[in-house]
Chains A and B, each alone.
Chain A
């Protein structure tokens, strides 16, 4: 399978704390993306990091990528109750033909007000 795996499967934190989620994948990639999904809704793109990048920031989000370990992490700082959602990493598995993504099973984040 080309899917990634997120760790932990579930995470519960207090509002204001930081949340860290990890993703491991199996094949070489061109880029890795993080998406968020609120319960019963579609996915919202958060951030894309290319294989030649090591770290990327967007607002309260910080993503790292270690291609030697085939892993990535998503850090959400100063979490808010509205950050409660499932978070997925997705890779392109090295394909150059399109944006076919291979998703992990997700981390369910609960931020307690």
Chain B
């Protein structure tokens, strides 16, 4: 059973471009979470999705950021018109059920905006 797979591992974008980060949860997991980690800081919750539904997006910036988890395929975190402040590591986690369970994390995508 492969773990949570994120790609790409590293992504470089120029200011104003779009960044698309992909996350394939563990097999059998229908709950996906995205987190952002700035250098030397802890992870900050962004968004929680189940298949085809956004459950909680309270941590996601209202503009330029969006997330989806379609019925088929990976979850996508999309950042439009990236700025330097978007440079961070973005982690995806998945769990088999809601509430009270550990989440399994991917290795992250390191986004650098130049």
A and B physically associate: yes
User: A residues near B, CB below 8 A?
Assistant: 3, 30-31, 33, 35, 41-45, 48, 50, 88, 90, 92, 95-106
In this complex, what residue of A is CB-closest to B59?
A100
Determine the distance from Cα of A103 to Cα of B45 in the docked complex, in whole angstroms. Answer: 8
Chain B residues 44-79 with CB under 8 Å of chain A are: 44-45, 48, 55-56, 59
User: A100 with B56: in contact, given A3-B42, A105-B41 (CB under 8 Å)?
Assistant: yes
User: A98 with B42: in contact, given A30-B99, A45-B104, A50-B100 (CB under 8 Å)?
Assistant: no
User: A99 with B99: in contact, given A42-B91, A43-B91, A88-B42 (CB under 8 Å)?
Assistant: yes
User: B residues near A, CB below 8 A?
Assistant: 4, 31, 33, 35, 41-45, 48, 55-56, 59, 91, 93, 95, 98-108
Interface of A is mostly: loop
Q: Is the CB of A42 within 8 A of B106?
A: yes
Q: Count CB-based A-B contacts (< 8 Å).
A: 82
Determine the distance from Cα of A41 to Cα of B95 in the docked complex, in whole angstroms. Answer: 19
Q: Is the CB of A106 within 8 A of B42?
A: yes
Determine the distance from Cα of A42 to Cα of B3 in the docked complex, in whole angstroms. Answer: 11
